[in-house]
Chain A
Amino acid sequence: KQEVTQIPAALSVPEGENLVLNCSFTDSAIYNLQWFRQDPGKGLTSLLLIQSSQREQTSGRLNASLDKSSGRSTLYIAASQPGDSATYLCAVPSSNTGKLIFGQGTTLQVKP
């Protein structure tokens, strides 16, 4: 059974820092991995989708990497800003239903 874990659960950093959020999964047979952002009381915004054949995917100040063999993905945020404060979720699709299996999320606070 696929399980997804995110560490740390919470992170507080000063503005301008580069930071890394971690995601691990137990079954390396994944199609892809998706990173989301969720603001308090809001829905899920898709940030990046990284395919199983890819090592990295970039969007602006965000860079996601994937190492299937070790069951890990990282989301790198460069030059963090207070507007980056949110909960970040990673998820992988189930191979039979396609439902997303989510980690518990990392809640990020970027202080001005």
Chain B
Amino acid sequence: NAGVTQTPKFQVLKTGQSMTLQCAQDMNHNSMYWYRQDPGMGLRLIYYSASEGTTDKGEVPNGYNVSRLNKREFSLRLESAAPSQTSVYFCASRGQLNQPQHFGDGTRLSIL
């Protein structure tokens, strides 16, 4: 009963390094999302994918890229990490619009 799985759970990077956050869902959902959660800012959408092969920008896309590799997987890449990207990153997925959105456990990312 995995649901949405995110890896890694924790990561520390140096400024300028790159990394990819992985997300996979096993619920056959079409839509997938990447959010970041920051104190006092709530959850903000970075990118989303309405279906396999499509991706769109959310509210805060700068500094990030995404890939919808297949229906199951949606990855988030930081090409050149900056301290402002220190955050908790959540991946989510959903079937139809009238169905609940399911979240992964998050990736806690610190950039020094």
- Chain A positions within 8 Å of B, measured between CB atoms, are 31-32, 34, 36, 41-46, 49, 51, 91, 93, 95, 97-100, 102-105
- Residue with the greatest number of chain B CB neighbours at <10 A, chosen from A32, A41, A97: A97
User: In chain B, residues 9-38, which have Cβ atoms closer than 8 Å to a Cβ of chain A?
Assistant: 31, 33
**B62 interface hit (Cβ, 8 Å):** no
A51 to B90, CA, bound (A): 24
Chain B interface residue count, Cβ-Cβ cutoff 8 angstroms: 23
Q: Contact: B90 with A44, CB < 8 Å?
A: yes
Q: Contact: B33 with A49, CB < 8 Å?
A: no
Identity of the chain B residue whose Cβ is nearest the Cβ of A47 in the assembled complex: B100
- B-chain residues with CB within 8 Å of residue A97 when the two chains form the complex: 45, 48, 50, 56, 58
- Given contacts A31-B97, A32-B98, A49-B100, are A99 and B105 in contact (CB under 8 A)? no
Q: Count how many pairs of residues, one from A and one from B, have CB atoms less than 8 Å apart in the complex.
A: 54
Query: How far, in Å, is A57 (CB) from chain B's closest CB?
Result: 11
A44 to B3, CA, bound (A): 12
**B53 interface hit (Cβ, 8 Å):** no
- Chain B positions within 8 Å of A, measured between CB atoms, are 31, 33, 42-43, 45, 48, 50, 56, 58, 90, 92, 94, 97-106, 108
- Given contacts A97-B56, A99-B33, are A43 and B105 in contact (CB under 8 A)? yes
- Residue with the greatest number of chain A CB neighbours at <10 A, chosen from B31, B50, B101: B101
Identity of the chain A residue whose Cβ is nearest the Cβ of B31 in the assembled complex: A98
Contact pick for A100, options B56, B101, B108, CB 8 Å: B101
* Extra A-B contacts (11), CB below 8 Å, given A32-B98, A91-B101, A100-B43: A31-B97, A34-B101, A43-B103, A43-B104, A43-B106, A93-B101, A97-B50, A98-B48, A99-B45, A100-B101, A104-B42
- A-chain residues with CB within 8 Å of residue B56 when the two chains form the complex: 97
A-B contact pairs, 10 of them (CB 8 A): A34-B100, A34-B101, A42-B106, A43-B103, A45-B103, A46-B100, A46-B103, A99-B58, A102-B43, A104-B42
